[in-house]
Structure 1
Amino acid sequence: MSSGSGPLRLGAKALEAKAICVFAHGRGQSPEAMQSHVLARLSAPSVAFVLPRAPSGSWWEARAIDPLTPVARAQLSAALDHLAAAVAAARGELPGLPLLLAGFSQGACLAIEYLCAGLPPPEAVAAFTGCRVGVPADGRAEALRAGVPVYLTGADADPWIPVSAFADAAQSLGRQRVSLRADLFPGRGHEVLDAEIAMLETMLADMTAGRTPRMEAAR
């Protein structure tokens, strides 16, 4: 385990790991919060977890649903560079293993933008309460590899990501022909439900078994 100013590393060691999960935290949160709220609820003994840490506690200052200003674009670009470096480092330390990129809230939005930016793709993505950053008029990138399994969630009661933004993300990912499962949870607040945890667990189980995630967990 490591913490401080760098990423938090948890789970299986190099000789035991069969898959990697890079998990990005939300606005004003920390890798340790994701450990206690999400990862501690998982059974994934063969997965090595890497939880990058936003330098200032948030990946960018604006809300994800606000139009992109020059400042927001620069901050998002820096966040993508940070995440890309974390993914590359994990790949370098554990070569040949499948990698799932995940995140919650602002971290989920960052994971979606990473995928859409055409950066070296993960084998799967789990975006818990995520959306595209900015608005369609911003001319956002849509350069991802077709067929990537993506699990996207949202809720009609979430104060940060409205249903319209969830739907916009689903449409954007659909245009790019990902293998998408999108679950909208009525009445859920800004949290990760047991059903979402179960889906992440089944996706990781598939990957540790050498299979493409089927995203078949019950809703």
Structure 2
Amino acid sequence: MNDVSHGTTIQAAGAPLAEAKGALILLHGRGATAASILDLAHYLAQPGLAFLAPQAAGNTWYPYSFLAPLGDNEPYLSAALRAVAETAARAAAAGIPERRLFFGGFSQGACLAAEYMARHARRYGGLLLFSGGLIGPPGTPRDYGGGFDGMPVFLGCSDVDPHIPLARVEETAAVLGGLGARVDQRIYPRLGHTINEDEIAAAAQLLAGALGSGAAPSGGDVLAE
């Protein structure tokens, strides 16, 4: 993977961005695509909500495990974080206020979303983390600035996920909570590396509450790697 210019392509679903009252930035997992993560738009649709999904170069945001030393994943990790920032800037340019801008992802994309939000903590609309956690090896300093001021976060994962250690999920919940987020952490016994119906319902409820739409979700397991 030589190209580190992530995010030059952004796919969209849901409400047209120019007409939207809110936007959810979705980050795909390793080996997946922007189009595949946009499958979540069907399950998480809300009136007036736009979905934006940047595409990673080579379908991978960074080459090694999210638990590897931070330097091992450079310059790819920095490029990936810039891609998230550029996608957020596109939403802002369309008039989406920060309190109606949401971030989410699955697997490697969830790790990227968690790390981006921790590094840019402010009162956004919310954060949806499906099977992911903060990036870096055990013992990584978590000296993030800013604060979430009560922003809702959903964090769901299996207790035996082969890619995401339970300890990192719990650390992520604690760090985000320490930055002022309201974290709904749900650990699912023996679940595979996937998104289940309960996670979809919780994520849709978070979005509906923040947007004031009250729209009901549809269920089902939707993604797996």
- Give the aligned partner of residue 210 of structure 2: 207
The aligned residue for residue 148 of structure 1 is: 151
Structure 2: distance between partners of 1:178 and 1:128: 17
Q: 1:86 matched to which residue of 2?
A: 87
With normalisation by structure 2, the TM-score equals 0.82
Give yes or no for contact 1:65–1:165 (8 Å, CA) kept in 2. Answer: no
| Alignment pair present for 1:41 and 2:50 | no
Separation (CA, whole Å) in 2 of partners of 1:20 and 1:168: 27
3-state SS, counterpart of residue 170 of structure 1: helix
CA distance in 2, matches of 1:205, 1:16: 18
What residue number does 2:72 align with? Answer: 71
**1:115 aligned to 2:117?**
yes
From 15, 19, 22, the counterpart of 2:22: 19
Take 2:18 and 2:8, find their aligned partners in 1: how far apart are those partners?
26
* 5+ residue gaps, structure 2: 1-6, 215-225
Identical pairs, percent:
31
Between 1:78-87 and 1:27-36, the stretch displaced more is 27-36
Shift of 1:56: 2.1
Which amino acid is 2:94 matched to? E
Q: Which amino acid aligns with 2:192?
A: G
Distance 2:167 2:87 in 1: 30
Q: Greater shift after overlay, 77-86 or 58-67?
A: 58-67
**1:115–1:121 contact (8 Å) kept in structure 2:** no
> What's the C-alpha RMSD, in Å, of the aligned pairs?
2.3
AA partner of residue 103 (structure 2): L
Q: Distance in 2 between matches of 1:94 and 1:13?
A: 12
**Greater mean alpha carbon deviation, residues 48-57 or residues 113-122:** 113-122
Of 112-121 and 163-172, deviating more is: 112-121
* Residue pair 2:23, 2:91 contacting (<8 A) in 1 also: yes
In structure 2, C-alpha distance between the alignment counterparts of 1:131 and 1:160, rounded to whole Å:
10
Secondary structure of residue in 1 paired with 2:75: helix
Q: Residue 56 of structure 1 aligns to a residue in which SS?
A: helix
Contact 1:117–1:141 at 8 Å: present in 2 too?
Answer: no
8 Å CA contact 1:156–1:185 kept in 2: the answer is yes
The answer for unaligned runs of 5 or more in structure 1 is 212-219
Runs of 4+ in 1 over 3 A off after TM superposition: 94-97
Pairs aligned (count): 206
